[in-house]
Amino acid sequence: MTPTDLLPAPPPRAAARRALLAGSAGNLVEWYEFGVYGCFATVIAANFFTPHADTGAGAASGAGALVATYASFALAFFFRPVGALVFGRLGDRLGRRPTLVVTIGLMTLATTLIGLLPTQAAIGPAAPWLLTCLRVLQGLSAGGEFGGAVSMITENAPPGRRGLYGAWQSFTVALGLLAGAGTAAALATVLPEPALYAWGWRIPFLLALPLGMVALWLRTALEEPAASVEAKSLPEAVAEAVPGAGAHGSGGPPRRREQVRAVFLGIGRIMGWSAAGYTFLVVLPSYLQSTLGTSFRNALLATTFANLGFAASILPAGMLSDRFGRRPVMLGGALGVVVFAFPSCTCSSPPTRPQTRAAAVLAAGALVGLLAGPGPAMLAEMFPRRVRCTGLGLAYALANAVFSGCAGLVITALTARTGDTAIPAYYAAGACALSALALLTLRGNDHREPLR
């Protein structure tokens, strides 16, 4: 018997589907909340970051309040790496399932409490501080969510379908953002604006409670992936003998240096995904309102179209990456953003025809989907099993902290300072150009190799 024969056998299809469902459900809840927060940024600015705010639309127009709202948004992202380290280590040592149960519980609790928070008009300066504390809690739980969920999904994926299964993680992100944007757009259509600013904004946050309970139930009913349990029983000698199995395992400085290098390389490969995704899918509504004078309703509709394009391209991108490799698909997405970022921003503003604006944001979202589809599997293939939760979770969290969490803050502040309405295009295209260079280091056959 060779050392390779001792590696875990591929899991059965039923276990793979259960892992896929449980791993993806929490992502939907997490990104639903982030989508809602982005869509209601101007409303949150009026209620929490504008002193003595009335509940009208004019109170949200101040750039300072909007910058403060996005600063709170960014702060949550900077706690994601902490969550990735803490929960990633727990996931690598204790198993994927218990970690994922804790992260979805924390996320659901924090999101529900945001919907119950008193505003600054009710309790004064304590309101923005309480909101920020809950955003920090969300950042910690979200940081541990990605590494555990992607590890669970990809480790249980059938042979030759790791890109497709990993793409479901991104697809549920798209569904969450789409659900958040759609819910916000529906409320903006049904409720008069004063009611929306006064109490209607709370409804989407409170809806996270039943969604989170369903996700929690799915995860508590899930068995720990066999691959993770069996990997713990592999003797160190066997792990060293199997090519690649112990290359990044526990050990001395050379291994640690290789792990750190892999984390930073992973950040480079997905920074375009992070920056362009948040520019076109989350920051867009407040940018269209505050910079281009678009109505709240039309801004939310544009965001919904962008998220539809994003959702539509993710699973096909994952399947294509299983057939042709991660590199050509992700490079196509990154270079596509570089080429089309400026036309997309130009076409998003009046007096462009509504049909042209819809097509522009739809195409922008689809290009981000080409990055997000193969992305989870690509990250999982960079790290061995014993450090996979921590490694890929940390790479994703750091990329999101720098290039996603700061997107709204940077775009809003630079646009206000320079008056240049093309700032979002510069931001997305610049990050994707750098990301394309890192993606060139991908090997063409990584998608065909078994996970280490």
> What is the total count of domains within the chain?
1
Residue 105 lies in a domain: yes
Residue 340 lies in a domain: yes
Among residues 146, 147, 151, 116, the alpha carbon closest in space to that of 130 is found at 116
One-letter amino acid for residue 80 of the chain: R
Given a contact cutoff of 8 angstroms between Cβ atoms, the answer to whether 284 and 421 are in contact is no
Given a contact cutoff of 8 angstroms between Cβ atoms, the answer to whether 195 and 187 are in contact is no
Residue 134 lies in a domain: yes
The pair of structure tokens assigned to 11 is 């899991």
Residue 119 gets the label, from left (phi > 0), alpha (psi -120 to 50) or beta, of beta
Given a contact cutoff of 8 angstroms between Cβ atoms, the answer to whether 398 and 263 are in contact is yes
Greatest C-alpha distance within the chain? 74
Residue 405 lies in a domain: yes
Given a contact cutoff of 8 angstroms between Cβ atoms, the answer to whether 19 and 380 are in contact is no
DSSP per-residue string spanning 328-355? HHHHHHHHHHHHHHHHHHHHTSTTS-HH
Tally helices (H) and strands (E) across the chain: 22, 0
Residue 233 lies in a domain: no
Crossing angle for the helix pair 253-281 and 354-372, nearest 10 degrees? 170
- Residue 291 sits in a domain of what CATH number? 1.20.1250.20
Among residues 39, 38, 29, the alpha carbon closest in space to that of 186 is found at 39
How does pLDDT run across 141-198, given as a tens digit for each residue?
Answer: 888 888 888 888 888 888 888 999 999 988 988 888 778 878 888 888 888 888 888 8
pTM, entire model: 0.76
Residue 124 lies in a domain: yes
**φ, ψ of residue 103 in degrees (nearest 5):** -65, -40
Question: Which residue segment(s) compose the domain that 284 sits in?
Answer: 18-224+247-448
One-letter amino acid for residue 15 of the chain: A
pLDDT by 10-residue block (mean), the chain, 452 residues: 46 70 78 77 78 47 60 73 87 82 88 89 84 86 84 84 90 83 84 87 90 84 55 39 38 69 92 88 69 69 82 94 93 93 70 72 90 93 88 89 77 78 85 94 80 77
CA 189 – CA 201 distance, rounded (Å): 13
One-letter amino acid for residue 332 of the chain: G
Residue 232 lies in a domain: no
Residue 237 lies in a domain: no
Given a contact cutoff of 8 angstroms between Cβ atoms, the answer to whether 82 and 140 are in contact is yes
